[in-house]
Structure 1
C-alpha cells in the first residue's frame, strides 16, 4: 500500500469519525438524560466506540483479535492495561460496560461532545496536578466501582511504542485495594497498526490479551503492581515474537 493511499484512508477515517461524533453527541445530549445511569455508557460511549472500530476496519483495514475473554469476571473491577495509542481507549469501551472513563477535565468543556460526556459521570482529572489527579481517581473510582461500573487505568501514564513497557504507577492498584475489588490485567500491541507518533494508520490485526484476575485482598500495592506488570510484559513478549 502506497503512502498516498494510507494518507487518504487515514484522512477519510478521521473525517467520518469527526462527523459521526458531532452528530451522535448532539443527538445523545437530548436522549441520555432520560436513560438510567448504568445504561448511559452502553448507549452513548459503547455504541460510539463500536462505530469507531468499524470505521477503522473499513477505511484503514485495522482488525483485532481478543484472547482470554473467559477471564473477565462477572463483577466490575479495575482494569490495568498497557498504553500504546488511542485505539485501546476506544476499543476497551466496547468490551467493558458500564464504565467510568478516566479523562482530562478539559474534554468536558467541548461543546456538545463534552457536555454529553458529563452525563455518564466520568472520572475527570487535572493532569497538571498529579497528586490531585491520583486522589480523584481513587475517590471517584471507588464510587464508580461501588455503582457496578468498570474503571480502566493506564498505569504507565503515557503511551509507549509497541514492544516497550514503562514504569507502572500504583494508582490503579491503590484504587482496587480501597474499593476492595480485584485487578484485571490487559495487554495489546495496538501501536503495530495505530502508531503513537504518526498520523498514518496501518492495516493489520491488533492482538489483545486479557489475563487471569489478580487478587488484591491482604496483599501490598507493590506486590499487586509487580504481578500485573510482569503478566503484561510477558504477554507483550509473546505476541510480538
Structure 2
C-alpha cells in the first residue's frame, strides 16, 4: 500500500471513529423518543450510509449493485456472504428497518454499541450455539412480524476471499417457519476491505442480489434444501466474477 493510500486510510479511520462517537452520543439522547422504524433510520441507516460514502470518497472503496429487481416490497430473511465489515455497513444502510444477528459483545462498545442496543438486534452468545439458535428462531420471528428485515451471515464469521464457508441452517429455518422467502446476496468486499489488518484497497465491490427463494414444503428437509439452494446461488454468483474457481467451491471449516 502506498504512503498516500496509507495516509488516507488513517484519516478514514479517524473520521469514522469520531463520527461513531458523535452520532452514537446524539442517538442515545434522541433515539428513545422515536418509534422503532424512525429510530433505526436515524441511528443506523444514516450513519452506515455515511460510512459507505466515506469509504468511497476517502479510500476509493466503491461498489456496483445488481439485482435490485429481486428485492421484495415485504421484508424477509437476508442471507449474505460475509468477508468484511463493509457489507455490514452497506446492508444495514440499504435495508430499513433491519434487525441483524450480531455478537453480544458489540453492544458493549461505548456510545455506538449502546445506541445499537436500542434497535432490537438479535445479539447472540456464540459460546452457546444451542441457546443462540433458539434465540434466533424466537426473536427473528418477532422481528419479521414487526416488519423488519432480518440479516444473517450464514457462514457465521468473516471468510477470506476465494473460499466459501458452509452455510448454517438457522436463517433458512427462520424463513421456513415464518412462511417467508430468503434473499441471497453475494459480494467480494474482502478484496477492498480485508478481514485482517487495517489496510483498505481502492476498487469496486460487486454486490449481487439474488432471486427470492421459497421453501418447497415444510420441516427439516425443506429447510436443508432451501439453505443449499441459497448457498449454491451465492457460490455460482461468485464464480461468475472470478471470486471462486469454476469447479466446486473450496469450503472453509467454520466452527
TM-score normalised by the chain length of structure 1: 0.96
CA distance in 2, matches of 1:100, 1:36: 15
Moved more, 28-37 or 101-110: 101-110
Q: 1:229 aligns with which of 224, 228, 231?
A: 231
| Matched residue, 2:14 | 15
Partner SS for 1:100: strand
Partner SS for 1:169: coil
Shift of 1:114: 2.3
The number of aligned residues is: 240
Runs of 4 or more, structure 1, over 6 Å off, are none
| Matched residue, 1:150 | 149
Partner SS for 2:13: helix
Shift of 1:217: 5.2
Partner SS for 1:65: strand
| Matched residue, 1:211 | 210
| Matched residue, 1:133 | 132
| Matched residue, 1:57 | 56
Partner SS for 1:207: strand
Aligned positions of 1:79-228 closer than 5 A: 79-216=78-215, 218-219=217-218, 220-228=222-230
Structure 1 residue 240 corresponds to structure 2 residue 221:
no
- Deviation readout 1:21-73 (Å, 9 max, x if unpaired): 00001011111111111221111101010110111012100110110001000
CA distance in 1, matches of 2:33, 2:216: 38
Partner SS for 1:224: helix
CA distance in 2, matches of 1:32, 1:99: 16
CA distance in 1, matches of 2:173, 2:56: 36
| Matched residue, 2:247 | none
Shift of 1:6: 2.3
CA distance in 2, matches of 1:164, 1:149: 30
CA distance in 1, matches of 2:167, 2:80: 10
Q: Are 2:76 and 2:175, in contact at CA under 8 Å, matched by a contact in 1?
A: yes
Q: Are 1:28 and 1:116, in contact at CA under 8 Å, matched by a contact in 2?
A: yes
Please tell me the root mean square deviation across aligned C-alpha atoms, in Å.
1.3
Moved more, 88-97 or 154-163: 154-163
Partner SS for 1:9: helix
- Deviation readout 1:97-130 (Å, 9 max, x if unpaired): 0001222222222332222112111111111111
CA distance in 1, matches of 2:39, 2:32: 8
CA distance in 1, matches of 2:9, 2:234: 29
Q: Are 1:163 and 1:237, in contact at CA under 8 Å, matched by a contact in 2?
A: no
- Deviation readout 1:171-202 (Å, 9 max, x if unpaired): 11011112221100100000111111231100
| Matched residue, 2:38 | 39
